[in-house]
Structure 1
Amino acid sequence: MNIQIAIKGLKDGDEKAFKFLFDQYYNRLVAYITTYTHDKMSSEDIVQQSFIDLWNNKEKLDENKSLKSYLYAIAYNRFIDSVNKDKRQNHLLELVYENALRDIINEDNEALEKRIKKMNQIIESLPPKCRETLEMNKIKGYKYKEIAEIMGVSIKTVESQMSLAFKKIRKGFGKENIQVLFINFYRILKFN
């Protein structure tokens, strides 16, 4: 069988003619499309779909025109369609990802706001000297020795006040990750 006879057979619905043309062009088309996709499996999918298109439009074949050019054009158009589809899917995935991130950020901001409010309530409930000691250390950045000198108390008293403050904070936040809480401690107190 030659190409011209196979084209005539294909137009009449001859499956053997179709198989002959498939065998003649399949590997060359896969190689051609792979130069664009750089992925043999997706190239094979595109070429297989191109042959399905050829079969579905067999009645429209012009025996006087090059079947090779026609097949290459179908395969190339299929490749372009797949690129556009991937772009649409990627764009959709990016939108979903952005929305998810935005939700996470909003949740984090809401959680931080709740922590700030809770921290402020706990700090306000501390005895005045304990609250003052905590604020001098965590907000103003004074060391225990400096706080002791300013307040006219011993370093042990400052340590005791800080220990009391942290116990109340730990108790107030219960099972929340206390390490994360103390990492954000300065940020939380800063909003006080």
Structure 2
Amino acid sequence: MNELEVTKAIKNGDEKAFRHLFNLYYDRLVAYIATYTHDKMSSEDIVQQAFIDLWNAKDKLQECKSPKSYLYTIAYNRFIDSINKDKRRHNLLNTVYENALRDRIDEDNEALEKRVKKMNEIIQTLPPKCRQTLEMNKIKGLKYHEIAKIMGVSVKTVESQMSVAFKKIRKGFEKENLYLLLVNFLKKA
């Protein structure tokens, strides 16, 4: 059976002729599409769909033409469709990821602002000398011995004041740290 006879038979719904065409071109089409996809499995899927499309549109076949070029065109168009579908899926995933990241950054900024506000509130409740010592060290960047010299106290006194400040700050955030620990635990569960 030559290709023109096969075309006429397929157009008339002859499954045997279709199977003959499938056996004749399947491996060639897979090899052709694989040059684009570099993936045998996806190439096979594309070619199988191309044959299904050919069968579903068999009434459009021209009896005086070989189905080879029509089949290759369908397979190539199916490949292009798969690329476009992958791009749309990839773009959708990127959009979802970017939105999730943006939401996370907003949440983190809000949490940071709350923590800074709370830190300032705790610092304001410190005894005046303790607050002054902490500010000189952490804000102005002075060393303990420099602070001791300016305040006219010993380095041990500065260390003691810093220790008191850190304890009060830790205590102020104690519940929040427990809450953050619980949130992290729940996220992992």
TM-score by length of 2: 0.89
Q: Is 1:104 paired with 2:104?
A: yes
Superposition map of 1:45-84 within 5 A: 45-84=45-84
CA–CA distance in structure 1, aligned partners of residues 52 and 114 of structure 2 = 60
Unaligned runs of 5+ in 1: 179-192
**1:39 Cα deviation from its structure 2 partner:** 1.4
Contact preservation (8 Å) 2:10, 2:18: yes
C-alpha deviation, 1:2, in angstroms: 3.6
Give the letter aligned to residue 121 of structure 1. Answer: E
CA positional deviation for 1:13: 1.6
Provide Cα deviations, 1:100-154, integer angstroms capped at 9, x if missing partner: 1110110010010000101000100111111111111111111111111111111
Identity of aligned residues (%): 77
| Displacement after TM superposition at 1:171 (Å) | 0.8
Partners of 1:123 and 1:91 in 2: how far apart?
47
Cα drift, residue 177 of structure 1: 5.3
Cα deviation, 1:72-92, whole Å, max 9, x if unaligned, reads: 100111111111111111111
Q: How much has 1:66 moved relative to structure 2?
A: 2.3
Unmatched 5+ residue regions in structure 2?
Answer: 179-189
The RMSD of aligned alpha carbons is 1.5
Task: Quote the Cα distance in structure 2 between the aligned partners of 1:39 and 1:169.
Answer: 59
Q: Which runs of 4 or more aligned residues in structure 1 lie more than 6 Å from their structure 2 counterparts after TM superposition? A: none
Partner AA of 1:116 in structure 2: V
For residues 150 and 41 of structure 1, the distance between their equivalents in structure 2, rounded to whole angstroms, comes to 76
State how far apart, in whole Å, the 2-side matches of 1:124 and 1:46 are. 69
Q: CA-to-partner distance for each residue in 1:52-85, whole Å, 9 max, x for gaps?
A: 1001011111121121111010011111111111
Tell whether 2:3 aligns with 1:3. Answer: yes
TM superposition shift of 1:8:
2.2
CA-CA distance at 1:7 after TM superposition: 2.0
What secondary structure, in the 3-state scheme, does the structure 2 residue paired with 1:95 have?
A: helix
Amino acid at match of 2:28: R
Q: How big is the shift at 1:20? A: 1.1
Q: How does 1:17-28 map to 2 (within 5 A)?
A: 17-28=17-28
